[in-house]
Structure 1
Amino acid sequence: MSDTSYVDEVAARAAESGRTATEQFRQRLGGGGATDQARVDLLASRVIKAINETVIEERVTYEEYNALKAWLIKVGEDGEWPLFMDVWVEHSVEEVANDHRSGSKGTIEGPYYVPDAPTEPWNGTIPMRDDEPGRPLLFQGQVRAVDGAPLAGAKVELWHADNLGFYSQFAPGVPQWNLRGTFIANDEGRFEIHTIEPAPYQIPTDGACGQLIAAAGWHAWRPAHLHLKVSHPGHELLTTQLYFPGDPHNEDDIAGAVKPELILAPRPRAGGDGYEVDYDFVLDPE
Protein backbone atom coordinates (compact mmCIF):
# COMPACT_ATOMS: atom_id res chain seq x y z
CA MET A 1 0.00 0.00 0.00
CA SER A 2 1.09 3.57 -0.48
CA ASP A 3 3.26 5.37 2.03
CA THR A 4 1.74 8.08 4.19
CA SER A 5 2.94 10.78 6.54
CA TYR A 6 -0.06 10.25 8.87
CA VAL A 7 -0.59 14.03 8.89
CA ASP A 8 -4.13 13.78 7.52
CA GLU A 9 -4.97 10.92 9.88
CA VAL A 10 -4.30 12.84 13.08
CA ALA A 11 -6.45 15.68 11.78
CA ALA A 12 -9.58 13.50 12.07
CA ARG A 13 -12.62 15.37 13.33
CA ALA A 14 -15.75 14.17 15.10
CA ALA A 15 -18.15 15.60 12.53
CA GLU A 16 -16.57 13.71 9.61
CA SER A 17 -16.33 10.51 11.62
CA GLY A 18 -19.91 10.94 12.84
CA ARG A 19 -21.29 11.42 9.35
CA THR A 20 -19.48 8.30 8.18
CA ALA A 21 -20.81 6.25 11.10
CA THR A 22 -24.34 7.50 10.46
CA GLU A 23 -24.17 6.66 6.76
CA GLN A 24 -22.73 3.19 7.42
CA PHE A 25 -25.52 2.51 9.89
CA ARG A 26 -28.20 3.63 7.44
CA GLN A 27 -26.80 1.44 4.68
CA ARG A 28 -26.73 -1.63 6.91
CA LEU A 29 -30.17 -0.95 8.36
CA GLY A 30 -31.75 -0.69 4.92
CA GLY A 31 -35.49 -0.26 5.16
CA GLY A 32 -35.57 -1.50 8.74
CA GLY A 33 -37.88 -4.16 10.06
CA ALA A 34 -41.48 -4.08 11.22
CA THR A 35 -41.84 -2.81 14.77
CA ASP A 36 -44.58 -4.02 17.08
CA GLN A 37 -46.80 -1.09 18.04
CA ALA A 38 -47.42 -2.36 21.56
CA ARG A 39 -43.69 -2.74 22.12
CA VAL A 40 -43.00 0.80 20.88
CA ASP A 41 -45.75 2.08 23.18
CA LEU A 42 -44.25 0.28 26.17
CA LEU A 43 -40.62 1.25 25.60
CA ALA A 44 -41.21 4.84 24.51
CA SER A 45 -43.60 5.44 27.41
CA ARG A 46 -41.08 4.12 29.93
CA VAL A 47 -38.24 6.24 28.55
CA ILE A 48 -40.35 9.40 28.47
CA LYS A 49 -41.64 8.70 31.97
CA ALA A 50 -38.09 8.22 33.27
CA ILE A 51 -37.02 11.54 31.75
CA ASN A 52 -39.95 13.38 33.29
CA GLU A 53 -39.37 11.76 36.68
CA THR A 54 -35.74 12.89 36.55
CA VAL A 55 -36.81 16.44 35.71
CA ILE A 56 -39.15 16.58 38.70
CA GLU A 57 -36.90 14.74 41.18
CA GLU A 58 -33.82 16.79 40.26
CA ARG A 59 -35.78 20.04 39.78
CA VAL A 60 -34.36 20.69 36.33
CA THR A 61 -34.37 24.37 35.40
CA TYR A 62 -35.32 25.92 32.07
CA GLU A 63 -31.67 26.83 31.57
CA GLU A 64 -30.71 23.16 31.95
CA TYR A 65 -33.63 22.05 29.80
CA ASN A 66 -32.66 24.44 26.99
CA ALA A 67 -29.03 23.37 27.26
CA LEU A 68 -30.18 19.77 26.79
CA LYS A 69 -32.26 20.69 23.72
CA ALA A 70 -29.32 22.52 22.18
CA TRP A 71 -27.04 19.57 22.88
CA LEU A 72 -29.46 17.04 21.36
CA ILE A 73 -29.64 19.18 18.22
CA LYS A 74 -25.84 19.24 18.06
CA VAL A 75 -25.62 15.44 18.40
CA GLY A 76 -27.73 15.18 15.26
CA GLU A 77 -25.84 17.89 13.40
CA ASP A 78 -22.52 16.19 14.20
CA GLY A 79 -23.88 12.78 13.16
CA GLU A 80 -22.93 11.41 16.56
CA TRP A 81 -26.03 9.43 17.44
CA PRO A 82 -24.30 6.14 16.48
CA LEU A 83 -21.37 7.07 18.73
CA PHE A 84 -23.61 8.14 21.63
CA MET A 85 -25.77 5.01 21.44
CA ASP A 86 -22.87 2.60 21.00
CA VAL A 87 -20.80 4.12 23.82
CA TRP A 88 -23.47 4.61 26.49
CA VAL A 89 -26.36 2.28 25.64
CA GLU A 90 -25.25 -0.68 23.51
CA HIS A 91 -23.53 -2.58 26.34
CA SER A 92 -26.92 -3.07 28.06
CA VAL A 93 -28.63 -4.15 24.82
CA GLU A 94 -25.80 -6.62 24.19
CA GLU A 95 -26.14 -8.05 27.68
CA VAL A 96 -29.85 -8.73 27.16
CA ALA A 97 -29.35 -10.13 23.64
CA ASN A 98 -26.64 -12.61 24.65
CA ASP A 99 -27.54 -13.70 28.18
CA HIS A 100 -28.63 -17.12 26.88
CA ARG A 101 -25.28 -18.05 25.34
CA SER A 102 -23.21 -20.93 26.67
CA GLY A 103 -20.35 -20.36 24.24
CA SER A 104 -17.93 -17.45 24.03
CA LYS A 105 -18.73 -14.09 25.55
CA GLY A 106 -19.73 -11.24 23.28
CA THR A 107 -19.67 -7.51 23.75
CA ILE A 108 -20.60 -4.39 21.80
CA GLU A 109 -19.98 -3.89 18.09
CA GLY A 110 -19.29 -0.16 18.35
CA PRO A 111 -19.77 2.45 15.62
CA TYR A 112 -16.78 1.58 13.41
CA TYR A 113 -17.70 -1.74 11.80
CA VAL A 114 -17.73 -1.87 7.99
CA PRO A 115 -18.96 -5.07 6.26
CA ASP A 116 -17.31 -6.86 3.34
CA ALA A 117 -13.68 -6.39 4.35
CA PRO A 118 -11.18 -8.14 2.02
CA THR A 119 -11.06 -11.93 2.39
CA GLU A 120 -7.74 -13.45 3.42
CA PRO A 121 -6.61 -17.06 3.99
CA TRP A 122 -6.76 -18.63 7.43
CA ASN A 123 -3.11 -17.77 8.08
CA GLY A 124 -2.97 -14.42 6.27
CA THR A 125 -1.96 -10.86 7.05
CA ILE A 126 -4.56 -8.17 7.61
CA PRO A 127 -4.39 -5.34 5.04
CA MET A 128 -2.03 -2.66 6.32
CA ARG A 129 0.37 0.00 5.09
CA ASP A 130 3.93 -0.93 4.21
CA ASP A 131 5.16 1.29 7.04
CA GLU A 132 2.36 0.49 9.50
CA PRO A 133 3.60 1.53 12.96
CA GLY A 134 2.98 -0.72 15.93
CA ARG A 135 4.17 -3.90 17.57
CA PRO A 136 3.56 -7.00 15.40
CA LEU A 137 0.89 -9.32 16.76
CA LEU A 138 0.07 -12.88 15.75
CA PHE A 139 -3.54 -13.58 16.75
CA GLN A 140 -4.39 -17.26 16.51
CA GLY A 141 -6.93 -19.76 17.73
CA GLN A 142 -9.72 -22.15 16.81
CA VAL A 143 -13.45 -21.81 16.19
CA ARG A 144 -15.54 -24.62 17.70
CA ALA A 145 -19.15 -25.52 18.42
CA VAL A 146 -20.32 -25.87 22.01
CA ASP A 147 -19.88 -29.65 21.73
CA GLY A 148 -16.20 -29.13 20.90
CA ALA A 149 -16.43 -29.91 17.17
CA PRO A 150 -14.16 -27.71 15.05
CA LEU A 151 -16.02 -25.43 12.64
CA ALA A 152 -14.20 -25.69 9.33
CA GLY A 153 -14.51 -22.61 7.14
CA ALA A 154 -15.72 -20.37 9.96
CA LYS A 155 -15.56 -16.68 9.09
CA VAL A 156 -13.47 -14.46 11.37
CA GLU A 157 -13.88 -10.74 10.71
CA LEU A 158 -11.26 -8.59 12.42
CA TRP A 159 -10.97 -4.81 12.56
CA HIS A 160 -9.24 -2.47 14.94
CA ALA A 161 -7.67 0.95 15.42
CA ASP A 162 -4.11 1.61 14.35
CA ASN A 163 -1.13 2.57 16.49
CA LEU A 164 -2.43 6.16 16.62
CA GLY A 165 -5.92 5.14 17.70
CA PHE A 166 -7.73 5.75 14.39
CA TYR A 167 -9.94 3.50 12.24
CA SER A 168 -9.83 3.27 8.47
CA GLN A 169 -12.85 4.86 6.75
CA PHE A 170 -13.38 7.05 9.82
CA ALA A 171 -10.22 9.15 9.63
CA PRO A 172 -8.70 10.90 6.61
CA GLY A 173 -5.50 9.70 4.98
CA VAL A 174 -5.94 6.02 5.95
CA PRO A 175 -6.27 3.40 3.19
CA GLN A 176 -9.85 2.14 2.84
CA TRP A 177 -9.38 -1.35 4.29
CA ASN A 178 -6.45 -0.68 6.58
CA LEU A 179 -6.52 -3.13 9.52
CA ARG A 180 -9.80 -4.68 8.35
CA GLY A 181 -9.95 -8.25 7.10
CA THR A 182 -12.11 -11.37 6.80
CA PHE A 183 -10.31 -14.65 7.47
CA ILE A 184 -11.62 -18.12 6.62
CA ALA A 185 -10.66 -20.82 9.13
CA ASN A 186 -9.03 -24.01 7.86
CA ASP A 187 -10.45 -27.55 8.02
CA GLU A 188 -9.72 -27.70 11.74
CA GLY A 189 -11.41 -24.37 12.40
CA ARG A 190 -8.05 -22.71 13.03
CA PHE A 191 -6.87 -19.23 12.11
CA GLU A 192 -3.55 -17.35 12.34
CA ILE A 193 -3.86 -13.63 11.69
CA HIS A 194 -0.85 -11.35 11.38
CA THR A 195 -1.62 -7.79 12.46
CA ILE A 196 -0.30 -5.10 14.82
CA GLU A 197 -1.27 -4.28 18.38
CA PRO A 198 -3.77 -1.40 18.41
CA ALA A 199 -3.52 1.64 20.65
CA PRO A 200 -5.94 2.84 23.32
CA TYR A 201 -7.81 5.90 22.13
CA GLN A 202 -10.25 8.58 23.15
CA ILE A 203 -13.62 8.68 21.44
CA PRO A 204 -13.98 11.91 19.42
CA THR A 205 -14.09 14.84 21.82
CA ASP A 206 -14.48 17.83 19.51
CA GLY A 207 -18.18 17.13 18.87
CA ALA A 208 -21.36 16.80 20.90
CA CYS A 209 -20.28 13.65 22.77
CA GLY A 210 -17.06 15.34 23.78
CA GLN A 211 -19.08 18.32 24.96
CA LEU A 212 -21.06 16.03 27.28
CA ILE A 213 -17.90 14.35 28.55
CA ALA A 214 -16.30 17.69 29.38
CA ALA A 215 -19.43 19.07 31.03
CA ALA A 216 -19.79 15.96 33.22
CA GLY A 217 -16.09 15.69 34.06
CA TRP A 218 -15.79 12.20 32.58
CA HIS A 219 -12.87 10.71 30.65
CA ALA A 220 -13.16 9.67 26.99
CA TRP A 221 -10.82 6.68 26.89
CA ARG A 222 -11.34 3.22 25.49
CA PRO A 223 -8.68 0.57 26.23
CA ALA A 224 -6.81 -1.00 23.31
CA HIS A 225 -8.91 -3.74 21.74
CA LEU A 226 -9.52 -6.01 18.78
CA HIS A 227 -13.01 -6.12 17.24
CA LEU A 228 -14.30 -9.45 15.92
CA LYS A 229 -17.32 -11.04 14.32
CA VAL A 230 -17.15 -14.83 14.15
CA SER A 231 -19.73 -16.83 12.21
CA HIS A 232 -20.52 -20.23 10.75
CA PRO A 233 -23.72 -21.57 9.12
CA GLY A 234 -26.11 -23.00 11.69
CA HIS A 235 -24.56 -21.04 14.54
CA GLU A 236 -25.23 -17.68 16.17
CA LEU A 237 -23.06 -14.81 15.06
CA LEU A 238 -20.63 -13.77 17.78
CA THR A 239 -19.70 -10.09 18.01
CA THR A 240 -17.00 -9.32 20.54
CA GLN A 241 -13.94 -7.29 21.50
CA LEU A 242 -10.70 -8.55 23.04
CA TYR A 243 -8.53 -6.48 25.37
CA PHE A 244 -4.92 -6.38 26.47
CA PRO A 245 -3.77 -6.85 30.07
CA GLY A 246 -2.40 -3.88 31.96
CA ASP A 247 -4.38 -1.21 30.15
CA PRO A 248 -5.43 1.34 32.79
CA HIS A 249 -8.84 1.75 31.17
CA ASN A 250 -9.82 -1.91 31.27
CA GLU A 251 -11.43 -1.04 34.60
CA ASP A 252 -13.20 2.16 33.53
CA ASP A 253 -13.82 1.82 29.80
CA ILE A 254 -16.13 4.68 28.80
CA ALA A 255 -18.20 2.19 26.76
CA GLY A 256 -18.53 -0.29 29.65
CA ALA A 257 -17.70 -3.15 27.28
CA VAL A 258 -14.80 -4.93 29.03
CA LYS A 259 -15.46 -8.36 30.57
CA PRO A 260 -12.92 -10.56 32.39
CA GLU A 261 -13.35 -13.33 29.81
CA LEU A 262 -12.26 -10.95 27.05
CA ILE A 263 -8.79 -10.14 28.41
CA LEU A 264 -6.03 -11.63 26.27
CA ALA A 265 -2.75 -13.15 27.49
CA PRO A 266 -0.10 -12.14 24.92
CA ARG A 267 3.43 -13.50 25.11
CA PRO A 268 6.65 -12.65 23.25
CA ARG A 269 6.60 -14.36 19.90
CA ALA A 270 8.98 -17.31 19.67
CA GLY A 271 11.63 -16.66 17.06
CA GLY A 272 10.13 -13.42 15.86
CA ASP A 273 9.32 -9.81 16.59
CA GLY A 274 6.37 -8.69 18.61
CA TYR A 275 3.81 -10.79 20.44
CA GLU A 276 1.49 -13.70 19.85
CA VAL A 277 -1.75 -14.65 21.54
CA ASP A 278 -4.13 -17.61 21.47
CA TYR A 279 -7.89 -17.17 21.79
CA ASP A 280 -10.55 -19.70 20.83
CA PHE A 281 -14.16 -18.97 19.93
CA VAL A 282 -17.08 -21.23 20.81
CA LEU A 283 -20.27 -20.60 18.85
CA ASP A 284 -23.77 -21.41 20.07
CA PRO A 285 -26.19 -23.21 17.72
CA GLU A 286 -28.97 -21.18 16.18
Structure 2
Amino acid sequence: PMRVTGVVYSRTCRPLAGVSIRALQTNGDGEYGPVVGDQPGACCYLQGLALTDGAGRYELDTVRPGHYKGAYPAPPAHIHISVSHLGSGHLETELQFAGDPGLKNGRPDPGVPVTPTREADGTLHALFDIVLSEP
Protein backbone atom coordinates (compact mmCIF):
# COMPACT_ATOMS: atom_id res chain seq x y z
CA PRO A 1 0.00 0.00 0.00
CA MET A 2 0.94 3.62 -0.48
CA ARG A 3 -0.42 6.79 1.07
CA VAL A 4 -0.10 10.18 -0.65
CA THR A 5 -0.58 13.20 1.59
CA GLY A 6 -0.04 16.90 1.20
CA VAL A 7 -1.34 20.41 1.52
CA VAL A 8 -2.72 22.54 -1.29
CA TYR A 9 -1.61 26.18 -1.09
CA SER A 10 -2.44 29.37 -2.94
CA ARG A 11 0.50 31.12 -4.58
CA THR A 12 0.53 33.38 -1.48
CA CYS A 13 1.19 30.28 0.68
CA ARG A 14 -2.34 30.21 2.13
CA PRO A 15 -3.75 26.68 2.64
CA LEU A 16 -6.84 26.15 0.48
CA ALA A 17 -9.92 24.33 1.77
CA GLY A 18 -12.36 22.54 -0.53
CA VAL A 19 -9.89 21.83 -3.33
CA SER A 20 -10.83 18.87 -5.54
CA ILE A 21 -7.99 16.43 -6.22
CA ARG A 22 -8.63 13.68 -8.77
CA ALA A 23 -6.08 10.91 -9.09
CA LEU A 24 -5.86 8.07 -11.57
CA GLN A 25 -3.15 5.54 -12.16
CA THR A 26 -2.19 2.06 -13.25
CA ASN A 27 -2.19 -0.85 -10.87
CA GLY A 28 1.10 -2.30 -9.65
CA ASP A 29 1.43 -4.24 -12.92
CA GLY A 30 1.23 -1.11 -15.09
CA GLU A 31 -2.33 -1.73 -16.30
CA TYR A 32 -5.06 0.92 -16.35
CA GLY A 33 -7.99 -1.43 -16.70
CA PRO A 34 -9.27 -4.66 -18.18
CA VAL A 35 -8.64 -5.48 -21.81
CA VAL A 36 -11.58 -6.72 -23.89
CA GLY A 37 -10.40 -8.47 -27.06
CA ASP A 38 -7.82 -6.18 -28.64
CA GLN A 39 -9.45 -2.98 -27.31
CA PRO A 40 -8.68 -1.32 -23.98
CA GLY A 41 -11.47 -1.73 -21.46
CA ALA A 42 -12.90 0.79 -19.12
CA CYS A 43 -10.32 3.02 -17.50
CA CYS A 44 -9.27 2.86 -14.68
CA TYR A 45 -8.80 0.30 -11.96
CA LEU A 46 -7.43 2.88 -9.60
CA GLN A 47 -8.92 6.34 -9.47
CA GLY A 48 -10.29 8.52 -6.75
CA LEU A 49 -11.31 11.95 -5.61
CA ALA A 50 -10.32 13.81 -2.45
CA LEU A 51 -11.27 17.21 -1.06
CA THR A 52 -8.92 19.24 1.09
CA ASP A 53 -9.95 19.97 4.67
CA GLY A 54 -10.00 23.39 6.35
CA ALA A 55 -6.20 23.38 6.60
CA GLY A 56 -5.71 22.46 2.93
CA ARG A 57 -4.74 18.85 3.74
CA TYR A 58 -5.61 15.80 1.66
CA GLU A 59 -4.89 12.07 1.76
CA LEU A 60 -5.07 9.36 -0.91
CA ASP A 61 -4.69 5.65 -0.11
CA THR A 62 -3.51 3.62 -3.10
CA VAL A 63 -0.64 1.41 -4.34
CA ARG A 64 2.57 2.36 -6.07
CA PRO A 65 1.78 2.30 -9.81
CA GLY A 66 3.70 0.09 -12.20
CA HIS A 67 5.33 1.00 -15.51
CA TYR A 68 3.23 0.82 -18.68
CA LYS A 69 3.53 -2.59 -20.30
CA GLY A 70 4.97 -2.58 -23.81
CA ALA A 71 5.85 1.12 -23.90
CA TYR A 72 9.33 1.93 -25.15
CA PRO A 73 10.89 4.00 -23.93
CA ALA A 74 8.70 3.54 -20.89
CA PRO A 75 7.60 6.71 -19.11
CA PRO A 76 8.25 6.83 -15.39
CA ALA A 77 5.67 5.20 -13.13
CA HIS A 78 3.28 7.97 -12.17
CA ILE A 79 -0.07 9.07 -10.79
CA HIS A 80 -2.08 11.56 -12.84
CA ILE A 81 -3.21 14.41 -10.59
CA SER A 82 -5.91 16.91 -11.55
CA VAL A 83 -6.45 19.75 -9.08
CA SER A 84 -9.18 22.38 -9.21
CA HIS A 85 -10.59 25.03 -6.91
CA LEU A 86 -13.16 27.70 -7.64
CA GLY A 87 -11.25 30.97 -7.88
CA SER A 88 -7.80 29.43 -7.60
CA GLY A 89 -7.24 27.81 -10.94
CA HIS A 90 -6.68 24.31 -12.25
CA LEU A 91 -3.57 22.16 -12.44
CA GLU A 92 -2.78 18.93 -14.31
CA THR A 93 0.41 17.19 -13.26
CA GLU A 94 1.93 13.82 -12.44
CA LEU A 95 3.35 12.52 -9.21
CA GLN A 96 6.47 10.56 -10.21
CA PHE A 97 9.11 8.72 -8.20
CA ALA A 98 12.69 9.88 -7.73
CA GLY A 99 15.18 7.35 -9.05
CA ASP A 100 12.74 5.86 -11.57
CA PRO A 101 14.72 4.89 -14.70
CA GLY A 102 11.93 6.30 -16.88
CA LEU A 103 12.84 9.82 -15.74
CA LYS A 104 15.94 9.61 -17.95
CA ASN A 105 14.36 8.34 -21.17
CA GLY A 106 14.28 11.65 -23.03
CA ARG A 107 10.51 12.11 -23.02
CA PRO A 108 9.00 15.46 -22.05
CA ASP A 109 8.43 15.36 -18.31
CA PRO A 110 5.14 16.81 -16.99
CA GLY A 111 5.65 15.50 -13.49
CA VAL A 112 7.14 16.14 -10.09
CA PRO A 113 9.35 13.39 -8.61
CA VAL A 114 8.88 12.52 -4.93
CA THR A 115 10.83 10.18 -2.65
CA PRO A 116 8.43 7.97 -0.68
CA THR A 117 9.40 6.84 2.80
CA ARG A 118 8.36 3.59 4.44
CA GLU A 119 6.19 3.79 7.56
CA ALA A 120 6.52 1.35 10.47
CA ASP A 121 3.62 -0.75 9.14
CA GLY A 122 5.31 -1.09 5.72
CA THR A 123 3.11 1.45 3.93
CA LEU A 124 4.90 3.78 1.52
CA HIS A 125 4.26 7.46 2.24
CA ALA A 126 4.65 10.11 -0.46
CA LEU A 127 4.43 13.78 0.51
CA PHE A 128 3.08 15.85 -2.41
CA ASP A 129 2.29 19.50 -1.65
CA ILE A 130 0.61 21.51 -4.40
CA VAL A 131 0.54 25.25 -5.18
CA LEU A 132 -2.32 26.68 -7.25
CA SER A 133 -2.12 30.08 -8.87
CA GLU A 134 -4.95 32.50 -8.19
CA PRO A 135 -6.55 34.52 -10.99
Partner of 1:280: 129
Moved over 2 A (4+): 170-178
Higher strand share: 2
Give 1:152 shift. Answer: 0.4
Q: How many residues align?
A: 132
Partner of 1:257: 109
Q: TM-score when scaled to structure 2?
A: 0.86
* Structure number with bigger Rg: 1
Cα distance in 2 between the residues matched to 1:284 and 1:231 = 10
Give 1:273 shift. Answer: 2.0
TM-align CA RMSD: 2.2
Cα distance in 2 between the residues matched to 1:195 and 1:144 = 23
RCO higher in structure (CA 8 A, sep ≥6)? 2
* Seq. identity, %: 27
Cα distance in 2 between the residues matched to 1:158 and 1:179 = 8
Q: TM-score when scaled to structure 1?
A: 0.43
Q: Does 1:245 align with 2:103?
A: no
Cα distance in 1 between the residues matched to 2:97 and 2:114 = 5
Match of 1:222 among 75, 86, 97: 75
Report if aligned partners of 2:7, 2:130 keep a CA contact under 8 Å in 1.
yes
Partner of 2:64: 197
Give 1:177 shift. Answer: 5.0
Cα distance in 2 between the residues matched to 1:189 and 1:153 = 7
1:138-182 residue CA offsets vs partner (Å, 9 max, x unmatched) = 1000011011111101000000111111113x6349776521111
Residue 237 of structure 1 aligns to a residue whose secondary structure is strand
Cα distance in 2 between the residues matched to 1:159 and 1:180 = 4
Higher helix share: 1
Partner of 1:171: 35
What amino acid is aligned across from residue 141 of structure 1 in structure 2? G
Change (3 A) 1:178 1:253: farther
Q: Which ranges of structure 1 fall in alignment gaps of 5 or more residues?
A: 1-135, 205-218
1:223-254 residue CA offsets vs partner (Å, 9 max, x unmatched) = 10111001111112000011112211111154
Cα distance in 2 between the residues matched to 1:263 and 1:257 = 10
Q: Which ranges of structure 2 fall in alignment gaps of 5 or more residues?
A: none
Residue 222 of structure 1 aligns to a residue whose secondary structure is coil
Residue 35 of structure 2 aligns to a residue whose secondary structure is coil
Cα distance in 2 between the residues matched to 1:176 and 1:249 = 22
Cα distance in 1 between the residues matched to 2:42 and 2:16 = 32
Give 1:277 shift. Answer: 1.3
Partner of 1:66: none
1:14-69 residue CA offsets vs partner (Å, 9 max, x unmatched) = xxxxxxxxxxxxxxxxxxxxxxxxxxxxxxxxxxxxxxxxxxxxxxxxxxxxxxxx
Report if aligned partners of 1:138, 1:193 keep a CA contact under 8 Å in 2.
yes
Change (3 A) 1:258 1:175: closer
Cα distance in 2 between the residues matched to 1:158 and 1:220 = 24
Give 1:200 shift. Answer: 1.3
